[in-house]
Structure formats: C-alpha cells, structure tokens
Amino acid sequence: MMKSSHRSYPETLSEPYWRSQPDLHHSIYLKLPEGAEVPAGNVYKLVKSLYGLKQSGGEWHKELDAHLWRLGFFPLLKIHCVYLRGAGETQVTIMVYIDNMLIISLFRNQIDQVKRAIIDKWKITDNGPAKEFLKIKITRDGQNGCQQSRAWNPKTIVKAN
C-alpha cells in the first residue's frame, strides 16, 4: 500500500473517444456498404473519426492534447499521458489513459474548474471522486490524504531479462 504525502483530491472523468468524433486530419475514403446507392465513380469521404477506425484513438488524443494546451496544461516530455499546470501547491495534474482521466490537485476548486472546462467541450462522464484508476484502488482519508493500494498481486510481475 502507498500513501500520498499530502491531502490531494483525485477525481476521474471518462469519455469514450468514439463518442467525441474528432475531426480527421487526413483523408480517409470508405468502400460503400452493400445496398448503398451512390453515382458510379463516387466514394464516401470521412469527415469525422468513427469507432473502430484504427486512427480514432490517435485523433482523439490530438484533440484532447490541443484542448489541454488551451487550458494551460503541458505534457511531460517523457510521459505524454501526464499533463501539468502550475507548480507547488497550485499544481494540477491530469493523467490520461485512452478515454479515462485522473485529475489531482490540493484544491477542490481547481479540480472543479478543470472538469467543467473538459465537460463543456465534450459530453464527458464525471465519475466523481476516484475509487480506481488503471487497476489501482484509491481510497480517501480526510485527515491523512489519499491512500492507494494495488489491485494486482505483485508476485505476478516478472522481471524481464
């Protein structure tokens, strides 16, 4: 079990990236489904990303990244799924994994402001206080800060060599 050294407020948001349907940044043409009628020589050109399209995840991340930059966040150089804004006690951290976000700050109002800016952009689900993120269970102790415990057995992790 790990325990944080400060009283942070972890909150989660989730957004199926296929629901946001980000714009495509390159041309993708589709073969017509059987029964579709279109003049000979014409094809469908996608304007928005579709669920199941291999580029969908990348397009969603580009759109999310651009929005987080506009909100004043920047990704860590070596860990592109972790975004920071501010420093010290005013720092807000966002961890992104596919379509899930964990937002952490010492101040509740900062988290609410960030969540509102993200929810206003997309129809995103506010999951409230974090209970789990990436199979790590998160519990909140109001006096001692956040506590996280592993949801997996560490004996199952094998060192690669």
d(CA 102, CA 47): 30
All residues at 6 or more sequence positions from 145 whose CB lies less than 8 Å from its CB, including other chains:
3, 4, 5, 6, 7, 8
Asked if 27 contacts 45 with a C-beta cutoff of 8 angstroms, the reply is yes
pLDDT at 114 over 90: yes
What is the per-residue pLDDT across 47-59, written as a single tens digit (0 to 9) for each? 555 555 666 667 7
Q: What's this model's pTM, rounded to 2 decimal places?
A: 0.68
Compute the residue count for the chain: 161
What is the per-residue pLDDT across 66-102, written as a single tens digit (0 to 9) for each? 999 999 999 999 988 999 999 998 999 999 987 788 9
DSSP conformational letter for 22: P
Q: Compute the radius of gyration of the chain from its Cα atoms.
A: 20
The residue with tokens 């014409």 is: 42
Domain boundary assignment for the chain: 2-20+54-156
Fold classified for 2-20+54-156: Alpha-Beta Plaits (3.30.70)
What is the per-residue pLDDT across 123-150, written as a single tens digit (0 to 9) for each? 788 888 888 888 788 877 766 556 565 6
